Structure formats: C-alpha cells, structure tokens
A = this chain, B = another copy of it.
Amino acid sequence: MAIAQARDGICNGHGGPFGSVIVKDGEVVGQGHNRVLANNDPTCHGEVAAIRDAGTRLGTFDLSGCELYTTGEPCHMCLCACLWANIDRIYYGCTIEDNGRIGFRDDKFDGLFSGRDKLEGYLVQMDREACLSLFDEYSALEHKLY
C-alpha cells in the first residue's frame, strides 16, 4: 500500500518515490507520499505527510500504538518526526544508500549524524526488492531531482 502511495505520487509529479502508511490495531489510520515539489514544501516527505494525515484523522498529535510502513528508509528528519509522534516501529523497504543512488541526499545527511544504530528493532527492513522496482520506475521517469 505504501508502494501504491509512492507510485501515485511519482505519476503525478509530486516528488520522489516515497510513500508511507500508518497502521493502528490492523487499520490504516494515515497515509501520504512525498509532495516536496507539489507543495513547495521541503519537509513534506512521505512519512511526514502520513503523520500529518494520521494526526488529523485520529485527532491527536500522539501516535502511540501506531506503526509506519514506508518505501525508503526514513531520512534523519523523518526518523525524528516518527520519534516525536511516538510511532512504535518503522518498517522500510529501500535503504538510505538506495535513496542516495536515485539522487536524494539522504546518504549525505546520514553521514553527518550518527546514532541510527541505537534504534535497532525500531527500524525494520522488509520488501526491499519490490521497493527497488519502484525506485527503478522513478529513475526511468527521470523526474526532477532535488
């Protein structure tokens, strides 16, 4: 579902191939995709868009009990956004390095900050292959990189 969100975003030229879904008690409570280009908002990564959506839908800034699924490993900004939101766990597909390979600066910022390794168990990888296919689709579209 996160991949479908991301595909929706890239097909509409909203931004990079990053889609996120937030689940609580087995139900989707929030979703979103990267809208940096569409909204002229450099903070509107997929994870942030999904957190905003869940906050609005649930009527709270506290997303305790929620898990987030996302196509690319969260950048430092999004990782901290999930911590502020009290998201319980993050499942991601492609890695920070994969994000870098298709032209995003996640890897540069990750090189600047350390401590991600302390979050083992909080950050769980899954479905990388399917997400890599999505990234290939994006690269083929040759969208504007930022």
Contact = CB atoms under 8 A, between A and B. Distances in A.
Contacts of A43: 43, 48, 51-52, 81, 84-85
A112 B75 CA distance: 15
| Size bracket, chain A contacts | 35 or more
Interface in A109-130: 109, 112-116, 118-119
User: Per DSSP, are chain A's interface residues mostly helix, strand or loop, or mixed?
Assistant: helix
Interface string A7-51: 000000000000000000000000000001101111100001001
A4 interface: no
A60 B83 CA distance: 28
A41 B55 contact: yes
A63 B85 CA distance: 26
A56 interface: yes
A116 B55 CA distance: 29
Contact of A42 (B59, B63, B109): B63
Given A40-B58, A42-B51, A77-B80, 15 more contacts: A39-B55, A40-B56, A40-B60, A41-B56, A42-B55, A42-B61, A42-B86, A43-B43, A83-B112, A112-B115, A112-B119, A113-B113, A113-B114, A113-B115, A115-B115
